[in-house]
Chain A
């Protein structure tokens, strides 16, 4: 495997440097998950038409005063494409453990389409965000689309009960959305999230599925708020178990949740996207999650390769979609697993230390120690990946 654009960070790490400035994505640290090529941005926005934006709210410090703060939360908005309320996309879902909320699942299951932007936020803000998204729907005699809002619980760091997310934040995130590289870590809906007892949040990654004649992209975005540190694995290395022994966590969150969004430009049908959704769990599991009893783990996958105009969906004649042959779906399933796994690791690598309500401190994943462990186990590029 090619090392690619080996970053200064990775070069320093190989040279035994003990300092890494700032936060860096997994690949920039030399961690190379899987075997498939990434898209140019290695993110969900590699899927043409997909745009991502955040509204991040960080205010106050000290003791929790419900309604006042401290606030560590926000909204992450995903436009599957800008015209989604008028031009639906096939979608599929999965819920490896359903102790949470991802609205729109019933529509996805029964009608097989997505007709709303997707927003990710904290648990208490689902209704507010849903309400804001409803205002985007066309006002006519046909059924309105169903907003898709996913949540994870940020009450370790955020005044979640205070409900600081407003419709203005939803609009801000939607307006901020663009097709450039996705800002990762403690941003948007991921601001107050904790992953494997390190600071978590938003992560993204992508893979290219290439055949002799065509190339399609599979992209993933996660809001990662799950897992026990001792279970964390990065590219197969039991990083969490080794780090836990030398870096005892300050807090012990329950086995929380993750929302996983998968996008592809491959022309797929809803039941095929159900299959892709199920493979997200494989990527999640490779980072060490067992989808604990208390977790709300959900996946939604959509395809921009088939578009269903609202007029056709509710019209009086049949319409036509394309579908990749089932026998050729294997690489897409692998791409989902790899993208989700790397997106989670990116969330960990990019998130910084955070102190929230009541002085609760959540450390960032220690990159130097992590790289040392990866190198020790031969998983850093230059020591076993070529």
Chain B
């Protein structure tokens, strides 16, 4: 079975984290989009994504009834990077709730989660199954992690190295019928720039976007 190359998955019994880069990477952001379907409403960290259309730090997935605690752990991770909580150092933790019962958590579960994120070491699986798939265009890779809980596709996370703007990622995220679909492009990493400097942002053409969408719709 193939493994993701654009992100790493850290599994714990009560949480799963998709890491796009190491927990203490230099300040930087990636463009992101999401689409929620049906009555999905368990999401934290939404405001910054809606306003700035970027993400930094892991994408957290947890049983819906425990996303507050997982978000708090994500805040602690961000605090360890910069207590000012800038949006390019892991704040706010983008935390997605999965409709399933939360397993019992040990007293030190947050510490275990933080250790796992810092060392990138998984423990037991969370109470859902994750299906990884990968597809290629002539130029780019599209990888996805699909979370199935109680027979329902609860979340679909797409990560691509195609350099895509948020409006293009909106179209990618809109493909999935999962309760929530997230699309991230690691094709542009926006570092924090000194005053006056500008980001040089690569953008795929419409034809390339069509290819990415076809690939995402028909993974290997």
Binding site for B on A (CB under 8 A): 109-112, 211-214, 267, 269-271, 275, 308, 312-328
Question: Is A325 within 8 A of B53, CB to CB?
Answer: no
Q: List 11 A-B contacts (CB under 8 A).
A: A109-B170, A112-B166, A308-B203, A316-B208, A318-B202, A320-B202, A321-B201, A321-B203, A323-B190, A324-B198, A325-B195
Question: A214-B196, A326-B87 known; 18 other A-B pairs, CB under 8 Å?
Answer: A110-B170, A111-B167, A111-B206, A269-B201, A270-B167, A271-B53, A314-B206, A314-B207, A316-B205, A318-B163, A318-B204, A318-B205, A320-B203, A321-B200, A322-B200, A323-B199, A325-B195, A326-B54
B20 at the interface (CB under 8 A from A): no
Interface centre among B52, B167, B200, by most A CB within 10 Å? B167
Separation of A328 and B163 alpha carbons in the complex (Å): 23
Q: How far is the CB of B30 from chain A (nearest CB, A)?
A: 13
Kindly list the 10 A-B residue pairs having the minimum CB-CB distance in the complex, ordered from nearest.
Answer: A112-B167, A323-B199, A271-B53, A213-B196, A271-B166, A325-B193, A322-B198, A315-B205, A321-B201, A318-B202
User: Would you list which residues of chain B between 165 and 182 have a CB under 8 Å from chain A?
Assistant: 165-168, 170-171
Residues of B with C-beta under 8 A to A323: 190, 198-199, 201
Q: Contacts of A214 on B, CB cut-off 8 Å?
A: 196
Query: What mask results when residues 51 to 84 of chain B are scored 1 for a CB within 8 Å of chain A, else 0?
Result: 1111000000000000000000000000000000
Contacts of B195 in A (CB 8 A): 211-213, 325, 328
B207 touches A320 (CB 8 A): no
**Cα of A275 to Cα of B201 in the assembled complex, Å:** 18
Identify the closest chain A residue to B33 (Cβ).
Answer: A271
Of the candidates B51, B197, B203, the one having the most CB atoms from chain A within 10 angstroms of its own CB is B203
Which residue of chain B has the shortest Cβ distance to A321 in the bound complex?
Answer: B201
CB distance from B198 to the nearest CB of A (A): 5
Q: Which residues of A contact B101 (CB under 8 A)?
A: none
Contacts of A269 in B (CB 8 A): 165-166, 201
In the assembled complex, how far is the CB of residue B31 from the closest CB belonging to chain A, in whole angstroms? Answer: 8
Given A270-B166, A318-B208, CB of A211 within 8 Å of CB of B199: no
Q: How far is the CB of B91 from chain A (nearest CB, A)?
A: 14
A249–B53 CA distance with the chains assembled, in angstroms: 46
Report chain B residues within 8 Å CB of A270: 165-167
Beta-carbon nearest neighbor of B206 in chain A: A314
Closest to A325 in B: B193
Closest to B170 in A: A110
Interface of A: prevailing SS: mixed
Task: Determine the chain B residues whose CB is within 8 A of the CB of A319 once the complex forms.
Answer: 202-203, 205
Q: Which residue of B lies closest to A308 (CB)?
A: B203
CA A324 to CA B53, docked complex, whole Å = 14
Given the complex, which residues of A lie within 8 Å of B53, measured CB to CB?
A: 271
In the complex, A141→B20 CA distance in Å?
Answer: 39
Q: When the two chains form their complex, are residues B163 and A212 in contact, meaning their CB atoms are under 8 A apart?
A: no
Give the docked Cα–Cα distance between A317 and B204 (Å): 7
B125: which A residues are within 8 A, CB to CB? Answer: none
Q: Are A325 and B199 in contact (CB under 8 A)?
A: yes
Please report the C-alpha to C-alpha distance between residue A328 and residue B207 in the assembled complex, in whole angstroms: 32
B192 touches A314 (CB 8 A): no
A271→B29 CA distance, assembly (Å): 14
Which among A313, A314, A325, A328 has the greatest number of chain B C-beta atoms within 10 A?
A325
Q: Which of B51, B170, B198 contacts A325 (CB 8 A)?
A: B198
Least distance between A181 CB and chain B CB atoms (Å) = 31
Q: Find out whether the CB atom of B51 lies under 8 angstroms from the CB atom of A109.
A: no
| Residue contact A109 to B202, C-beta cutoff 8 Å | no
Q: How far is the CA of A33 from the CA of B52 in the complex (A)?
A: 28
A327 surroundings in chain B (CB, below 8 A): 192
Contact check, A267 vs B198: say whether CB atoms are below 8 A apart: yes
B170–A316 contact, CB under 8 A? Answer: no
- Are B205 and A275 interface neighbours, CB within 8 A? no
Report the separation of the CA atoms of residues A327 and B196 in the bound assembly, to the nearest whole angstrom.
11
Q: What residue of chain A has the Cβ atom nearest to residue B200's Cβ?
A: A320
**Cβ distance B157 to chain A, nearest Cβ, rounded Å:** 20
Q: Which of A314, A321, A328 has most B Cβ within 10 Å?
A: A321
- Does B192 lie within 8 Å of A271, measured CB to CB? no
B200-A325 in contact (CB<8A): no
Query: What is the CA–CA distance of A317 and B206 in the complex, to the nearest angstrom?
Result: 9
- Name which of B139, B190, B192, B198 has the most chain A CB atoms within 10 A of its CB: B198
Minimum Cβ distance to chain A for residue B84 (Å): 12
| Cβ-defined contact, B167 with A326, below 8 A | no
A110 adjacent to B203 (CB under 8 Å):
no
For B166, list chain A residues within 8 Å (CB).
112, 269-271
Q: Within the assembled complex, what's the spacing in Å between the Cα atoms of A61 and B90?
A: 65
The CA-CA distance from A267 to B193 in the complex, in Å, is 15
| A275 surroundings in chain B (CB, below 8 A) | 51
Cα–Cα, bound, A325→B197 (Å): 8
Residues of B contacting A318 in the complex (Cβ-Cβ under 8 angstroms): 139, 163, 202-205, 208
The answer for the CA separation of A110 and B200 in the assembled complex, in Å, is: 21
Question: Distance (Å) between the CB of B188 and the closest chain A CB?
Answer: 9
Check B203–A109 contact: CB distance below 8 A.
no
